[in-house]
Amino acid sequence: MSEPDIAALDANDPLGAIRDRFVLPEKLIYLDGNSLGPAPKAAFDDFKQVIEEEWAQGLIGSWNSAGWFESPKALGDRLGSLIGAAPGQSIVCDTTSINIFKAVNAALGLNKERRVIVSELDSFPTDLYMLHGLDVELRLLGRDGDNLANLIDNDVAVVLLSHVNYRTGALFDMASINNLAHQAGALIVWDLCHSAGILPIELDKTQTDFAVGCTYKYLNAGPGAPAFIYVAERHIRAARQPLSGWWGHARPFAFEPGFDAHPGIEKFLCGSQPIISMAGVESGLDALEGVSIEAVREKSLTLTDLFISLCEPLCQEYGLVLETPGDTQRGSQVSFTFEHGFAVIRAMCDRGVIGDFREPDLMRFGFAPLFLRYADVTRAVEILEDCLKEKVWKNPAYTTRPAVT
Amino acid sequence: MSEPDIAALDANDPLGAIRDRFVLPEKLIYLDGNSLGPAPKAAFDDFKQVIEEEWAQGLIGSWNSAGWFESPKALGDRLGSLIGAAPGQSIVCDTTSINIFKAVNAALGLNKERRVIVSELDSFPTDLYMLHGLDVELRLLGRDGDNLANLIDNDVAVVLLSHVNYRTGALFDMASINNLAHQAGALIVWDLCHSAGILPIELDKTQTDFAVGCTYKYLNAGPGAPAFIYVAERHIRAARQPLSGWWGHARPFAFEPGFDAHPGIEKFLCGSQPIISMAGVESGLDALEGVSIEAVREKSLTLTDLFISLCEPLCQEYGLVLETPGDTQRGSQVSFTFEHGFAVIRAMCDRGVIGDFREPDLMRFGFAPLFLRYADVTRAVEILEDCLKEKVWKNPAYTTRPAVT
């Protein structure tokens, strides 16, 4: 595509104006919104309100008057509307890891006769780590042509999968896998960390049992903002989760010595939530207000298609291997394995294009349609090409591994 | 004491100048710092820095460059110095409830042959709720003259106690109870929610095994700010906690499929921490910088002594019953049971004195020495007396229970 073609794409982008809702450092091309979303501009005032008014002036009274105590439920319902969940089934709280623990334990409790969990070797590792120490047998979908249908049989209690693979960006078909699981009598737990806010999700319609996810990627809620958990209405009453703290009690302020779980989705709460970080979830959802998730998906596919096609000649010339499905069976990231990927990502970063790197050799580029322009894509590819041409991996400054990338 | 006596106490208060470190609404007498501490003035800029610079400008790079990933450990060590813990044993993360779950499970794992937990009926309820569903026998210290020595025998795996009782303010003697537990071969888990930051604590010296606590009361870190957990160095290597998320992995960024617990206190981490709320922990600790905890304790006892003695005639006349030990075996709150306590607390609140109420009939007044003046105590008692004299419970506006108090 020519420069004018790209300019036309940007000029006609129905989401073009949404970029203005975000703070973006000047001249930076941020291809890491799949890891930490940028700050919505309005968040600055939202946080100020919570900190300087609600906390500093309202003090203890704000638990009621500012809606702090109700915020996990209120935000859960709002977030639910983005993932096809009717109200009363989603709640914002704790971390993705902890919510996986709750969901998997609850699902195991609902499927007591079985102790097999099917998951994927390529899951974000914490999903598997949270199963460590559970009295279960783990069956992992490998990377070489295994097939879920072969793994899910009548011994399987729970299928735990990432909707979008954090490494490759591959997208599972939720409806058909739910079907597969349910036909075998298994329950499904979806990790939506890399899909919530970036593509249409229909938890209720696809008969999903449980889902969890984070809010700091495509939902732009701020670093480490509270995660969410969804439990289908049909399971809530019977479900039991082991982190039975006071916020999950039917009467948290009666201060009874015995635990009596809340009858609603609130039973998936545990302790006091980090209210200031919670404010970011509201700001993040506000930044998505009035935006059609279908339009987000459409732009996401066009951005990633453009990136993939522009990178094709580089793959040929330099040996990058595309790891992301080339059709619509992907989320909103594009990944390549490349021997010198670490150095290339570091060098691109120095030139104002932020992607990320996952050991041992994976380059990931995330395309968040709320703030990225088509011109950003072409510019990012130019800089990638420069780095490859210059063989930046010859420069030792780009080859030292830091503790965190 | 006469008015000039009180004025002299304030004038000579070695902590008098610390009040200026906090935002306090005008004319408000805040006797609820034991529930939610006020905002340190410097916190406004601290939060702004994290939100507007580190997140909005630094984006993903701030996990390293702004020390986000290291903050639970760094803040844990800093907080540790307030509770008598040498570095490497305390970490700031998650919630008190979740940290109780980790500590109790780890302690049970270290004492595998035993399944009895001793706790107190009068614990903050979440401490007991978190034991719900564990395969243990619970022995509860009641309210009427039971005695821990009778409950702790050679069957006991874990003793879980609140250092300061959230209702009465009674303070356990940590050293002697640790001794009692250890002599019986039990491990101790202390809940420091109502003692951290308000009185000297010697976790290491008293041979404490585990401790947890929150940061939003006397540590002034903001609503729902992350909690902390302490594990004695001698237990860390062998201890195992069930919330084995990626932040607790020995190599969290190697993204290995198998879980290998961190050898250090980091194994008590689980998932991504709420970084913006975490910033409040640092601000709260900054507000205590250079303050001697012994001076805090001394003023706390003088404030509560003064309040108790001024309230004595009111107890006589109106039938309030003091629930707080009258000697130094208390934390920094004073509680009365009183039939009309709910209405009195509401009416006092309308007159600018914030205490709190716990069902069914408990009035609690917290005395945080960092910002309270002796004159606040005398003024609070005057207002309490007015409310009692006027029988505010005859006013229906003061008798309707809200959802949260």
Interchain contact, A69 vs B224, CB within 8 Å:
no
pLDDT at A230: 99
Query: Alpha-carbon distance A328 to A322, whole Å?
Result: 15
pTM of the model: 0.97
Residue B32 to residues B35, B112, B194, B363, B367, Cα–Cα distance (Å): 5, 40, 12, 11, 7
Q: Which residues in chain B have their CB less than 8 angstroms from residue A248's CB?
A: 129
A185-224 confidence digits (pLDDT tens): 999 999 999 999 999 999 999 999 999 999 999 999 999 9
- Confidence class of residue B1 from pLDDT cuts 50, 70 and 90? confident
Residue B56 included in any domain: yes
Size of interface A-B (CB pairs under 8 A): 268
Indicate whether A71 pLDDT > 80. Answer: yes
* Residue A348 belongs to domain with CATH number: 3.90.1150.10
Per-residue pLDDT at A405 = 42
Cβ within 8 Å of A, B 287-346: none
Is residue A38, in this structure, part of any structural domain at all?
Answer: no
Give yes or no for residue B144 having a pLDDT over 70.
no
Q: What is the pLDDT of residue A186?
A: 98
Question: Which of B254, B287, B320 corresponds to the end of one domain?
Answer: B287
Judge if A371 and A281 occupy the same domain.
Answer: no
Q: What is the pLDDT of residues A368-381, one digit of tens each?
A: 999 999 999 999 99
Element (H, E) at A297: helix A293-318
Angstroms from A99 CA to nearest CA on chain B: 10
Q: Which of B121, B226, B270 sits opposite A257 (nearest CB)?
A: B121
| Phi, psi torsion values for A228, nearest 5 degrees | -140, 160
* Overall average pLDDT of the A161-187 stretch: 97
Interface contact flag, B276 A30, Cβ < 8 Å: no
How many helices (H) and strands (E) would you count in chain B? 13, 13
User: Do residue B265 and residue B321 come from a single domain?
Assistant: no
Q: Which of A287, A306, A331 is the last residue of a domain?
A: A287
| Shared-domain flag, residues B150 and B178 | yes
pLDDT tens string B337-378: 999 999 999 999 999 999 999 989 999 999 999 999 999 999
Per-residue tokens: A195: 């899909």
Please report the pLDDT score of residue A53 as a whole number. 98
Q: Is there a single domain that holds both residue B83 and residue B222? A: yes
CATH label of the domain that carries residue A242: 3.40.640.10
Rounded Cα distance, B372 and B127, in Å: 29
Give me the half-sphere count of Cα atoms (radius 13 Å) on the Cβ side of residue A206.
27
- Across the interface, of A226, A258, A356, the residue whose CB is closest to B274 is A226
* Residue B191 bears catalytic tag: yes
Tell me, yes or no, whether B113 lies in a domain: yes
Q: Does A388 fall in a domain? A: yes
Domain assignment of residue B229, yes or no: yes
Judge if A296 and A283 occupy the same domain. Answer: no
Specify the range with the lowest mean pLDDT, choosing from A388-392, B108-112, B162-166, B399-403: B399-403
Is B323 within the bounds of a domain? yes
Q: Is residue B369 part of a domain?
A: yes
Residues A233-287 have pLDDT tens digits of: 999 999 999 999 999 999 999 889 899 999 999 999 999 999 999 999 999 999 9
**Residue A405 belongs to a domain:** no
Say if B133 is an interface residue toward chain A (CB within 8 Å).
yes
What's the rounded Cα separation, in Å, for the pair B40 and B144?
40
Give pLDDT, residue A328.
81
End residue of a domain, out of A260, A287, A314? A287
**For residue A403, what pLDDT is reported?**
56
Question: How many domains are contained in chain A?
Answer: 2
Q: Which of A331, A333, A335 is nearest to A33 (CA)?
A: A333
* Two structure tokens written together for B382: 């005057």
- Provide the pairing of β-strand B116-120 with B90-92: unpaired
- Kindly determine whether residue A222 and residue B51, on different chains, have CB atoms separated by under 8 Å: yes
pLDDT score of B405 more than 50: no
Give the separation between CA B337 and CA B344, rounded to whole angstroms. Answer: 11
Domain boundaries, position A360:
3-30+292-398
Cβ of B253 within 8 Å of Cβ of A25? The answer is no
First CA to last CA across chain A, in angstroms?
33
Q: Which of residues 145-204 of A touch B (CB under 8 A)?
A: none
Distance CA B56, CA B52 (A): 5
ipTM beyond cut 0.85: yes
The pLDDT of residue B143 is above 80: no
Ranking A57-66, A331-340, B151-160, B249-258 by mean pLDDT, the lowest is B249-258
Query: B122 catalytic, yes or no?
Result: no
Model pLDDT, residue B54: 98
A117 & A223 share domain: yes
Residue B281 has pLDDT above 90, yes or no: yes
Amino acid type, A309: S
pLDDT of B338 reads 98
Check whether residue B7 and residue B67 sit in a common domain: no
Separation of alpha carbons A195 and A206, rounded Å = 15
Tell me whether residues A253 and B225 touch, CB distance under 8 A: no
Question: Would you say residue A130 has pLDDT above 60?
Answer: yes
Give A-chain residues touching B240 at CB under 8 angstroms. Answer: 133
Query: Is the domain of B255 the same as that of B310?
Result: no
| pLDDT score of A1 | 78
What percent of chain A has pLDDT above 90? 93
Mean pLDDT of chain A: 96
Model confidence at A400: pLDDT above 90: no
Tokens encoding A243: 């982190």
Which comes out higher in pLDDT, residue A232 or A326?
Answer: A232
Residues A218 and A142 in one domain: yes
Within 8 A of A55 by CB-CB distance, chain B residues are: 36, 39, 222-223
Mean pLDDT, range A103-107, rounded to an integer: 98
Q: Which of B124, B172, B218, B230 is catalytic?
A: B124
Kindly state the average pLDDT of the residues A157-167.
97
Same domain, A16 and A69: no
**B181 & B255 share domain:** yes
Are A197 and A251 part of one and the same domain? yes
